[in-house]
Chain A
Amino acid sequence: MKDRSERTAATTTLETRESVPWTRRHILDLDDFTRDEIETVMETADAMKEVLGRDVPRVPALRGRTLITLFYEASTRTRASFELAGKALGADVINVAASGSSVEKGESLVDTVRTLQAVGADVLIMRHGSSGAPYLVARHVQASIINAGDGWHAHPTQALLDLYTMRAHLGDLRGRRIVIVGDIAHSRVARSNIWGLSAMGAQVVVCAPPTLLPAGTRVGAGFKPARPQPADVYEQLALPPVEVETNLDRAVEEADVVMALRLQNERMSAGLLPSLREYATLYQLTEERLSRARTGALVMHPGPMNEGIEISPAVASSLQSVIEEQVTNGVAIRMAVLYLLARSRS
């Protein structure tokens, strides 16, 4: 057993690579992250994970800083893990609940965030139902903005924790076959993962019925637009190329990771699917389907899960499932990005 004074000393230090440059002020999406930047986040998260393993999981790296979470949509894990991450780094964390849209409340989003900045927010962690809302905010405040999910667009810290979890089990992701199955069209998790995984050199496969694939997606053609091709100047701005597959049995062949996405009930009423039953028949990740993947392939899910719909209970709790680990890693990843953003601001 270690000497107590030695432990106390350890709680104030943090092993990170200060030499790596980090100038990013906001985390809005992974679309402009380089492989090196993602690696920096991963290595910083390793250090944070070590902190979290201590008896007193605290380092004062963000002491005196104020983090405000501004969530316009419900969240359990994302919000809790940001709050824990901020507290573990010694920051003051304030949660602002915003139910419904700012428009309904009468105050505009820009006015709301300006108010939060005026009360002293250094970092604003926001979730919003409208795609692009964090980009609007980032144009109008000095605080760092972390996008904790905007509409169907992006959820960069979820993708980072997914990458971190994959990296822990698979190491280098180059050439790995990562299958994302489910409601790709309406999924910010899928979009951010496509960017992050592509930056890391993985091969991304998206699998869904055509009604749950984004507009313009065609089997065999990825996200290339169905008609008029984008002009060359815009090509680099389009989502990176992915393999599109409507048949899950084929999609999971030789997969290293299978990530199932939550299916929202309202997709049925919108006429996108005939029934949950039919969806489960065609797209549920079952043991039989998983057996087609590589031996030991990882099973992931960003949560919250509908067990028995997109994933069978047996698969969700199988040895191959790293779903709980994703949640645990979420705290370390969020500590890492908070820490890195603080470094760029100081």
Chain B
Amino acid sequence: MTTLAIRGGGVIDPANSIDAIADVLIVDGRIAAVDADAGKDSSEVIDARGLVVSPGFVDIHCHLRQPGFEHKETIATGTLAAARGGFTTVCAMPNTEPPIDSAAAVEFILRTAQIEGVVRVLPIACVTRGRAGRELAELAELAGAGAVAFSDDGSPVADAHLMRRALEYAGMLGVPVIDHCEDPALAAGGVMHEGWVSTRLGLKGVPAAAEETMVARNIALADETGSRIHIAHVSTAGSVELIRAAKARGVPVTAEVTPHHLALTHEAVLLGPGEVPGGLTYDTNAKANPPLRTAADAAACVQGLLDGTIDCIATDHAPHATQDKLCEFDAAACGISGLETALALALTVVSLEDIVRALTISPVRALGLDPRIESLGTLSVGAPGDVALIDPDAEWVVEPETFASKGKNTPLAGRTLRGRVVATVYEGRVVWKL
């Protein structure tokens, strides 16, 4: 019997409405008790006084790049980055090479994660064969192999008819479909948010409507089919409004938002860090899809998260190699390496209590992960012994070269942030410690 006691921390467990100083006792990799002095007889002890103790974070949207893009990230490096960010469960998007559209590919992810992973990896499989958007992947077989959701992330399921059928079929399996909402025609060629900055820089923009028309379509299809749609990385005020109205009508829709869409704006492309000749940075590290949008959009996303319109935070961790970003803005890859800055960046605009909820029980409920892994995202007795220890007041400077992720691509380099994960416990073992 192995035991680990995390003693004297401020425990926040939204699922159980706990917000108190307590010990967390983990026995044989599972939560055994959360109580004052529960850990007083334990042999292995972590002194958590002055720290916040949260269920391990759950990221339902990240890119681990393996197989196919191991120069950008691997399951090993991505899960270590996750641990550094306080994440003990990550859902890997299937836009790899080959894409995760077969049971064998799902099994490859699970097996590699078992051997090389630092934390739990739950695979998301493709909606369509080869992510090509033309015919359904073998959804039942994928679910049987362990896929927790279906998504062609990186691309939308552009064909409305195919999306309708995907929702009907996935609904039978009780597995949600996650859509990257972007109208391909409206977004064509766009490299950043369409607005005053794109006009200023002479870059082709992606209008907010490119996302909103697709969100509206998906809501209509979820309403029609009664199947659950999950809207990936909401970025516009209009999308928030559409989802709010849909939820009010009882449409089975859930949504996530990234820390960067909560806290950063399209001005980040204009004004990156450091001294730049001519003053314009064209910061490729601030290039993401969906793009960083306006301050009003970000504020609407924060409001949506607080009022429950947006269910949870997901990182959309998108690591890239240096050369993928050290190039012309038009040619640069989209995405931000986000696992290791998620908490601190979100803390710039949202309270710690709200973030803990949005990174633990809420994403678990959004994707329906708890029947698969009992009490995931909670500190309930019997739940996985996954814990994040947070120093909410620690100030630190973002130094991408120190990231565990192979992706050093962040627009936050050099920025001082507050709030840091100081240790991460996965199934009762300390997998990362500052």
Query: Which residues of chain B come closer than 8 Å to A101, judged between CB atoms?
Result: 328, 331
Excluding A132-B282, A228-B296, A230-B196, 4 further A-B contacts by CB distance (< 8 Å) are: A130-B329, A131-B282, A131-B329, A188-B202
Q: Could you give 13 example pairs across A and B, Cβ below 8 Å?
A: A28-B277, A31-B278, A103-B328, A131-B201, A131-B282, A135-B276, A191-B202, A215-B207, A216-B194, A216-B199, A223-B196, A228-B296, A234-B270
User: Shortest distance in angstroms between A141's beta carbon and chain B's nearest beta carbon?
Assistant: 10
Q: Mark B192-211, 1 if CB is under 8 A from A, else 0.
A: 00111011111111011000
B326 within 8 Å of A (CB atoms): yes
Query: Which residues of chain A come closer than 8 Å to B326, judged between CB atoms?
Result: 108, 110
User: Shortest distance in angstroms between B410's beta carbon and chain A's nearest beta carbon?
Assistant: 18
Number of interface residues of A (CB under 8 A): 45
User: Shortest distance in angstroms between B297's beta carbon and chain A's nearest beta carbon?
Assistant: 7
Among A32, A128, A139, chain B packs the most CB atoms within 10 A around the CB of A139
A96 within 8 Å of B (CB atoms): no
Q: Which residues B246-284 have CB closer than 8 A to chain A?
A: 267, 270-271, 276-282
Main SS at interface, chain B:
loop
> What band does the interface of chain B fall in when counting residues whose beta carbon is under 8 Å from A?
20 to 34
Choose among B276, B277, B278, B330 the residue that contacts A131 (Cβ–Cβ < 8 A).
Answer: B330
Query: Which residues of chain A come closer than 8 Å to B323, judged between CB atoms?
Result: 108
Contacts A26-B278, A32-B279, A136-B282 given; indicate if A130 touches B330 (C-beta within 8 A). yes
In the assembled complex, the Cα of A109 lies from the Cα of B329 at a distance in Å of 11
A82 within 8 Å of B (CB atoms): no
CB-based A-B contact count at 8 angstroms: 117
B350 within 8 Å of A (CB atoms): no
* A132 with B205: CB separation less than 8 A: no
* A150 with B278: CB separation less than 8 A: no
Q: Which residues B174-202 have CB closer than 8 A to chain A?
A: 194-196, 198-202
Contacts A29-B278, A131-B282, A227-B296 given; indicate if A215 touches B198 (C-beta within 8 A). yes
B405 within 8 Å of A (CB atoms): no
Q: Which residues B195-229 have CB closer than 8 A to chain A?
A: 195-196, 198-205, 207-208
Contacts A103-B331, A154-B202 given; indicate if A135 touches B280 (C-beta within 8 A). yes
Closest 3 CB pairs of A and B: A153-B202, A132-B282, A152-B202
A224 within 8 Å of B (CB atoms): yes
Among A110, A135, A215, chain B packs the most CB atoms within 10 A around the CB of A215
B20 within 8 Å of A (CB atoms): no
In the assembled complex, the Cα of A223 lies from the Cα of B197 at a distance in Å of 10
A214 within 8 Å of B (CB atoms): yes
A151 within 8 Å of B (CB atoms): yes
A20 within 8 Å of B (CB atoms): no
Choose among A109, A134, A214 the residue that contacts B199 (Cβ–Cβ < 8 A).
Answer: A214
* B201 with A136: CB separation less than 8 A: no
Contacts A151-B330, A153-B202 given; indicate if A238 touches B280 (C-beta within 8 A). no
A117 within 8 Å of B (CB atoms): no
* B195 with A215: CB separation less than 8 A: yes
B295 within 8 Å of A (CB atoms): yes
Query: Which residues of chain B come closer than 8 Å to A135, judged between CB atoms?
Result: 276-278, 280-282
* B277 with A26: CB separation less than 8 A: yes
* A138 with B329: CB separation less than 8 A: no
In the assembled complex, the Cα of A128 lies from the Cα of B323 at a distance in Å of 19
* B205 with A237: CB separation less than 8 A: no
Query: Which residues of chain B come closer than 8 Å to A225, judged between CB atoms?
Result: 195-196, 294
A133 within 8 Å of B (CB atoms): yes
Q: Mark B10-34, 1 if CB is under 8 A from A, else 0.
A: 0000000000000000000000000
Q: Mark A140-151, 1 if CB is under 8 A from B, else 0.
A: 000001000011
Contacts A135-B276, A138-B277, A191-B202 given; indicate if A103 touches B327 (C-beta within 8 A). yes
User: Shortest distance in angstroms between B59's beta carbon and chain A's nearest beta carbon?
Assistant: 29
With CB as the reference atom, state the residue of chain B lying closest to A108. B327
A9 within 8 Å of B (CB atoms): no
Query: Which residues of chain A come closer than 8 Å to B276, judged between CB atoms?
Result: 135, 138-139
* B200 with A237: CB separation less than 8 A: yes
* B196 with A216: CB separation less than 8 A: yes
Query: Which residues of chain B come closer than 8 Å to A216, judged between CB atoms?
Result: 194-196, 199
Contacts A101-B331, A108-B323, A110-B327 given; indicate if A132 touches B280 (C-beta within 8 A). yes
A217 within 8 Å of B (CB atoms): yes
In the assembled complex, the Cα of A168 lies from the Cα of B330 at a distance in Å of 38
* A237 with B329: CB separation less than 8 A: no
* B294 with A28: CB separation less than 8 A: no
A231 within 8 Å of B (CB atoms): yes
* A151 with B196: CB separation less than 8 A: no
With CB as the reference atom, state the residue of chain B lying closest to A226. B195
With CB as the reference atom, state the residue of chain B lying closest to A215. B194
Among B201, B207, B270, B295, chain A packs the most CB atoms within 10 A around the CB of B201
Q: Mark A20-64, 1 if CB is under 8 A from B, else 0.
A: 000001101101100000000000000000000000000000000
Query: Which residues of chain B come closer than 8 Å to A239, judged between CB atoms?
Result: 196, 199-200
Among B199, B281, B282, B296, chain A packs the most CB atoms within 10 A around the CB of B199
Q: Which residues A196-242 have CB closer than 8 A to chain B?
A: 214-217, 223-225, 227-228, 230-231, 234, 237-239
Query: Which residues of chain B come closer than 8 Å to A217, judged between CB atoms?
Result: 199
* B202 with A238: CB separation less than 8 A: no
Choose among B194, B267, B277, B297 the residue that contacts A234 (Cβ–Cβ < 8 A).
Answer: B267
Q: Which residues A79-115 have CB closer than 8 A to chain B?
A: 101, 103, 108-110
Query: Which residues of chain A come closer than 8 Å to B202, judged between CB atoms?
Result: 131-132, 150-154, 188, 191
Query: Which residues of chain A come closer than 8 Å to B207, judged between CB atoms?
Result: 215
Among A109, A217, A227, chain B packs the most CB atoms within 10 A around the CB of A227
* A238 with B329: CB separation less than 8 A: no
